Structure 1
Amino acid sequence: MTLPIDPYERRPVPGPPQPPNPVARPPMSWWRRHRVLRNWLAGVASAVAVSVISGVVLAFVTPTAEPPGGTQSSPPAPDQPFTVNMLSRGEVCLPYVVDADPATLASPHRDASAARGSRPSDDEVVAWMGKVGATPSKGNLVLTVQGVSGKAVVLQGLDVEIVERSPAPAAPAVFIIEDGCGAEESPRLFNIALDQPNPQAKPQDGVAVGGAKIPAAAFPFSVSDSDPEIFLIEANPGRCDCTWRLRLRWVGDGRSGTLVIDDHGKPFRTSGYDEPAAQVYYERTANNCPSDVTWCLLPS
């Protein structure tokens, strides 16, 4: 995310985009709404169409005119024997650091009169982030990588580049849209500690549908058209306000290269904060928040 993230900007990359195929968002968790992820977790060893169903598409490696929430595939560049789809979403339960007066800060709901207990959609959260300049307190990326032929492509490693690192704000206003979100499924899980001197994408145990553990697995990975991989990247800022990007190293079909993964040509931005000193506000549709204000202060 320099932030705010612009959810409507796209990086031009050669190759025609696939036609959009917006779908209605059913009221279920975003992992269960991700068709490719469900197929992968179920062990389906057949060709998987690289697409994102629901969620909010913020940064693809290819251009698209779709607004957030559409379906998009990413054709490979001429020298790249695989496709990459990247999903970065507006997390409704994630704390956001916003330099704003709570009395004037807009609601993430398009309809400001939303009923108590209702959650804004992923699209609404992303639009709100861009509108108010909200910085997420954790970076969440989902990378779907798939070859374009039966030939295997070896993904050698995922490197982390810190573009800029500064201290996290000492006593910020922090805004939480919803609280009490439970754990969800995760595929190949990697955690990045952005405030470390040399941050690495470290493999972690994941969780499959039903709660079964997915053992941590480190690079390299092999992908083909019938054997994709899906990676969940969690970037934790610790006590820094960091901008960062990723570099995916690969070898395949007699070629090699490095793919830069960022936010439409700009680095992502993620900011921690001093929790004891922060002023934490909840959106009015959350529990225990008066209905006559948009954001209410969490009692200390």
Structure 2
Amino acid sequence: MPEDAAVEEFSARLRALKARGGRSYEALGRRLNVSASTLHRYCSGATVPERFAVIDRMARLCGTDEDERRNLEELWTRADHSRRPRPQEREPEQEPEREPESQPEPESQPEPEPEEQERERAPELAALGTLTTAPAPRRSLSRSWRGALVAGAGAAVVALAVVLVLVRPGLPTGPEATAPPASTAPPTSTTSPSTPAESSPPPFTWTADSQVWQDGCGHVYLVDRGLRGFGPPPPPGDAAVWAGANRAVHGGETLVRISLQGRSPSSAVVLQALHVRVVGRAEPLPWSAYRMDNGCGGAVTPRHFAVDLDRPRPLARPVDGYDASGAEGRTIPAVSFPYTVTSADPEELLVTARTAGCDCRWYLELVWSSEGRSGTVRIGDGEGKPFRTSGMKGRPVHEYDPVGRRWITGADSGQSG
């Protein structure tokens, strides 16, 4: 499908959804945590959203079913692919040549004779009841030692067979056999059904994305490597893959987007509070900083929760957003607890955590209540790991020159770093 046709088909579907929902751009934008002008650019085809999450929320608010949302995601994928810039060619990484290490040649062992092979397997066969006669004696062992070895090998094989039968799936061996299997978090998204103290999952689902860039383009990573052979910055959509491949750590700031949705349209879940728990502090990493942009900015500052990780007891402080796209601008009110979500009324929370003086590992803890139940879910960076943010003061800062197709230091680019 041509580029313009893919984008136009996607934007036309968005306009139809907005008309179905009956909300104005401003009213719908408040529910989606985006400005009215940004939503208008999506519906007009001037811009394709970086992520499908905001469109998925819009579709749910406008009353779509699962098949419509799946079809809408396919349209977004084609439109996003047509607008995505072609990736820069990566310079091959030069690895230093290593001298081959000399390994001692293994000593050659003579092949055993067929009769010797049969004699060596005799204890196993005897234990399994497949021999009716005693094995031929080995010339190198006395009768007493030979008998002890045969008896010991037979006992070992029988014991192993008994253990295998007892632990075979489907045969309970005690109370542990009836225990449910331990749950594991999926590798590609940060989700959690409940805290260990809870006996059942909470009445809502959530996902957390820690690879959010400021205004969709600005972010800094700390990487333990030099400039040689280092490719260009990734598109924002590939940030998680790029950061994992380079073992990158957020430099100075981590932005986390949390999407919440109730499991039932009729039962509301009340979100009571959001807490921060720091589980590790160390000196800032002595790694180089790589800036993902040469400076960018947007007309909208989203509402968020600001976290100062350098404080002894960090708090998640709600902060108003601001939309400067209009003639006079307007304030976007901060999220205030308690807050209610259902399956038909989801919510997104944006957390901005900063540090200058530590290599911090931290979690978020969300307190909830619903229909007489209450609990706390711990939100981390996937597979139960904490988020990680390191200060970068005094570190060399590198920026990518798209013309010269190379990384340059802050001094070369006029930045102080």
State TM-score, norm by structure 1.
Answer: 0.68
For 1:98, the equivalent position in structure 2 comes to 223
Q: Which has the higher contact order (CA 8 A, sep 6+)?
A: 1
Q: 1: CA distance between counterparts of 2:388 and 2:254?
A: 8
Q: Does 1:89 align with 2:211?
A: yes
Number of residue pairs matched? 243
Of 268, 277, 294 in structure 2, the residue corresponding to residue 179 of structure 1 is 294
Q: Return the match for 2:388 from 265, 269, 289.
A: 269
Cα distance, 1:200 vs. partner?
0.5
Bigger share in strand: 1
Q: Provide the C-alpha distance between the structure 1 equivalents of 2:337 and 2:65, rounded to a whole number of angstroms.
A: 21
Report if the CA contact (8 A) 1:247-1:258 is conserved: yes
Distance 1:155 1:63 in 2: 22
Any conservation in 1 of the 2:51–2:237 contact (CA below 8 Å)? Answer: no
Is 1:93–1:177's contact at 8 Å kept on the other side of the alignment?
A: yes
**Which residue is 2:370 aligned to?**
252
Instruction: Give the C-alpha shift of residue 186 in structure 1.
Output: 5.6
- Residue 297 (1) aligns with residue 413 (2): no
Report the CA distance between 1:143 and its aligned residue. 1.1
Whole-Å Cα distance in 2 between the matches of residues 147 and 195 of structure 1? 33
Q: CA deviation at 1:27?
A: 6.3
Q: Deviations over 1:138-162 (max 9, x none)?
A: 1111111121221211111111110
What one-letter code is carried by the residue in structure 1 that aligns with 2:308? A
Cα distance, 1:86 vs. partner?
1.9
- Give the counterpart of 1:240 among 346, 358, 366: 358
Q: Check whether the contact 2:203–2:269 (CA below 8 A) recurs between aligned residues.
A: yes
Matches within 5 A, 1:18-33: 28=48, 30=50
Cα offset for 1:88? Answer: 2.5
Q: Does 1:201 align with 2:316?
A: yes
Deviation digits for residues 79-98 of structure 1 (CA, Å, limit 9, x no counterpart): 31111122232534211111
Identical pairs, percent: 32
Contact 1:47–1:226 (CA<8 Å) still a contact in 2? no
Paired residue secondary structure (1:250):
strand
- Greater C-alpha Rg: 2
Provide the residue aligned with 2:92 in structure 1: none
Three-state SS of the structure 2 residue aligned to 1:159 is strand
For residues 93-151 of structure 1, give each alpha carbon's deviation from its aligned partner in whole angstroms, at most 9, with x where no partner exists: 2111112111243444xxxxxxxxxxx32243322211221111211111111212212
**Per-residue deviation, 1:297:** 1.5
In the other structure, the counterpart of 1:164 is 280
Structure that is richer in helix per residue: 2
Letter in 2 for 1:99: D
Is the contact made by 1:195 and 1:239 (CA closer than 8 Å) also made in structure 2?
Answer: yes
Give me the whole-angstrom Cα distance separating, in 2, the residues matched to 1:142 and 1:209. Answer: 22
CA distance in 2, matches of 1:192, 1:271: 14
- Whether contact under 8 Å (1:106, 1:132) holds in the other structure is no
State the AA in 2 paired with 1:267.
Answer: P
Per-residue CA deviation, residues 5-43 of structure 1 (Å, 9 max, x unaligned), is: xxxxxxxxxxxxxxxxxxxxx964537972146579xxx
For 1:144 and 1:238, locate their aligned partners in 2 and report how far apart those are by CA, in whole Å.
Answer: 28
Extract unaligned runs of 5+ from structure 1: 1-25, 56-60, 109-119
SS of 2:226's equivalent in the other structure is coil
Residues 48 and 228 of structure 1 are in contact (CA less than 8 Å); yes or no, is this contact kept in structure 2? no
Larger mean CA deviation between 137-146 and 122-131 belongs to 122-131
Instruction: In structure 2, list runs of 5 or more residues that go unmatched.
Output: 1-45, 81-182, 195-199
Provide the rounded CA distance (Å) in 2 between the counterparts of 1:187 and 1:267.
24
Shift of 1:64: 5.0
Alignment CA distance shift 1:186-1:228 (3 Å): farther
AA in 2 matched with 1:131:
A
After superposition, the C-alpha distances for 1:215-257 in whole angstroms (9 at most, x for unaligned) are: 1233221112222221111111232210101111111022111
